[in-house]
Amino acid sequence: MLKSIKIVLHICLLYILFQVGNWIEQTFHLFIPGSVIGMIILFILLLIKVINISWIEEGATFMIKHLTFFFIPVTVGIMSYLDLFRGNGIVLVLITIASTLLVMLSAGHVSQWMITRKEAKHD
């Protein structure tokens, strides 16, 4: 029971940081979403020890473990665009998938090549 109260309190703190991020985004008309700004703020506050890790630990672990759950309503939004999967639109779906694979291939291999070279040097 104590643990679930902790989780709820931790999530409240994370939610406040999210709202601070939203406020910064809107006030300064930034490109970066409020949630990402909130994440950067939390990271900085952890670094300079304004927020103790024990204030968010259980809540953060819980939310990260179930990250997929929070995405579901957004991805279900695809139902309004099912026409895209018929006719000409399917080409766009395939292009998106192909381009996504190429991003993974290039980003992944460039960094893997760099790290393995670096690791080899150190050995």
Partner 1 sequence: MINILIGIISIIGTLLIYVLSIRLHKKFNYPFTLPILVATIILVIVLLTFDISYNTYMLGGDWVSELLGPAVVALAYPLYKERFLLKKLIMPIVCGTIAGGFVGVSTGVLLTKWAGFDSEIIFTISSKSVTTPVSMAITESLGGITPLAAVFVMIAGISGSVLSTYLFKYTGLKHYLGKGIALGSASHAIGTATALESSELEGSISSIAMILSAMLISIIAPGLVSILL
Q: How far is the CB of 61 from partner 1 (least distance, A)?
A: 7
Side chain identity, residue 5: I
C-alpha dist (Å) from residue 82 to 78, 87, 94, 96: 7, 11, 14, 15
Q: How far is the CB of 123 from partner 1 (least distance, A)?
A: 15
Q: Which is nearer to partner 1, 1 or 77 (CB)?
A: 77
Region of 52 (left: φ > 0; alpha: ψ -120 to 50; beta: rest) is beta
Q: Which is nearer to partner 1, 2 or 54 (CB)?
A: 54
Q: How far is the CB of 50 from partner 1 (least distance, A)?
A: 12
Q: How far is the CB of 90 from partner 1 (least distance, A)?
A: 11
Q: Which two tokens stand for residue 74?
A: 């957004």
The string of DSSP codes covering 28-94 is TT-SS-HHHHHHHHHHHHHHTTSS-GGGTHHHHHHHHHTHHHHHHHHHHGGGGGGGGGSTTHHHHHH
